[in-house]
Amino acid sequence: MKNTLLIFSLVILLFSCTTKKSESDFAVKGFQYARLVSIEQKEGYKELIIKNPKTLKVESKYVLFPRNSKMKRPQGVKIIEVPVQNMAALSTSFVGMLNAIGGIETIKATTEKQYISNSRLLKRINAGKVITAGYETGLTPESVLKAKIPLIVFSGFGQPFPNEDKFAQLGVVCLANYDWEEKHPLGKAEWIKVFGALICKDKEADAYFSKVVSSYQELRKQITSASETERIQKKVMCGGMAGDVWYAPAGKSFMAGIMQDADMDYIYKNTEGTASISLSLEQVFNDDQSCDVWINAEAPTLNGLFELNSKLSYFHTVKEGKVYGYMHDPNYYWEYSQVNPHWLLEDFIRINKGNTQSKLHFYKQLK
């Protein structure tokens, strides 16, 4: 009888050990702020769903299938084996997200070296462990195959990735990331959960994002709980010139949302869209006359700004010395502002209040 009980106990113990949930089975928390992505827990795998930013209809589905699972794989779907060990991360914001959850080592291809801030990734690029591509077309099927990269994550612009069909024939999955199309200021950062699911660091991604949300909401509380006499709402100009066109954040964009949360009165807040709007210099010049602050100026100094266009010296915000930008360290800004919107919000709150004596996270006043 004792032997029977012992054998039964060992069977139960063995069964419980072999059926214990792996890290890849960790159920990711639902998406609260991002509207273009979701992850659903299925029996033995996860399903990653990406929606089209314009139609909000499902654009792609990916099965995140545990690498060592003996379960039969679903047919007729794009399968990504997780944890992903090698990937191409073709945006600096992806670098920031992977860095936040300890995933830098998974990056085997990225954008050009001159746009990278992360010291560990730069070291790997210099050592020849990571390939770089200036444009999406620069990442060839041959180079990806040689580097043994099964997954390419790129910024989706409504078009397939170059040579996507050929990549598919080689077993390489191309995944469009639409974090830049999110409306809510916390929506973009929530895409860190996608990278968490891809490299099986869901817990780390959820924990990081929870801290971001908590910090962001605490800053917002400081604004909303202030009395009317304490609140300051400066009128703000944003953006810069590219050729003959001025590009500014659209009224429903990530950047416009953070400005609103900082209590800034963004002059183009009522425009449509989640990306940017195009304006003439003449219109912007006239609009600037009623503004108190200009942020995201495309130069590290005032002289650098005037070299881009001498007419900018006549802007009201320039004459008042209220111009701020991140071009003194743009790589750091693009890597870390997307995954740390609470830092961006804190900078804007301080700029709005004129409290910029100490160092800001990303911005500097142009001199």
Order of strands, sheet of 245-249, starting from the edge strand that comes earlier in the sequence = 240-242, 245-249, 276-279
User: Residue 9: pLDDT above 70?
Assistant: no
The domain in which residue 276 lies consists of: 231-365
243 plus 156 within the same structural domain:
no
Triad 179, 180, 182: Cα angle to 5° = 70
201 plus 267 within the same structural domain:
no
CB 166 within 8 A of CB 144: no
Which carries the bigger pLDDT value, residue 84 or residue 242?
84
42 plus 149 within the same structural domain:
yes
For residue 264, give the CATH number of its domain: 3.40.50.1980
pLDDT at 35: 94
pLDDT classification of 75: cutoffs 50, 70, 90: confident
Mean pLDDT of 82-101: 97
| Residue at 34: amino acid letter | A
CB 235 within 8 A of CB 267: yes
pLDDT at 23: 40
Mean pLDDT of 323-332: 96
179 plus 31 within the same structural domain:
yes
pLDDT at 100: 98
240 plus 322 within the same structural domain:
yes
Partners of residue 48 on adjacent β-strands: 39, 62
CB 167 within 8 A of CB 152: yes
In the predicted model, what is the mean pLDDT of the chain?
Answer: 89
Count of structural domains within the chain: 2
pLDDT classification of 160: cutoffs 50, 70, 90: confident
User: Residue 73: pLDDT above 60?
Assistant: yes
Q: Is residue 68 part of a domain?
A: yes
Mean pLDDT of 115-134: 95
123 plus 166 within the same structural domain:
yes
Q: Is residue 224 part of a domain?
A: no
Per the listing, tokens 């940017």 go with: 276
Mean pLDDT of 124-133: 96
User: Residue 166: pLDDT above 70?
Assistant: yes
119 plus 87 within the same structural domain:
yes
Determine what percent of the chain is predicted with pLDDT higher than 70. 92
Q: What tens digit of pLDDT does each residue of 203-260 get?
A: 999 999 999 999 999 999 998 888 776 778 899 999 998 888 999 999 999 899 999 9
pLDDT at 229: 67
User: Residue 173: pLDDT above 90?
Assistant: yes
287 plus 177 within the same structural domain:
no
pLDDT at 135: 74
CB 164 within 8 A of CB 12: no
Q: Is residue 216 part of a domain?
A: no
pLDDT at 185: 87
User: Residue 85: pLDDT above 90?
Assistant: yes
User: Residue 367: pLDDT above 60?
Assistant: yes
- Of 211, 244, 262, the residue that ends a domain is 211
User: Residue 113: pLDDT above 70?
Assistant: yes
Triad 191, 253, 314: Cα angle to 5° = 135
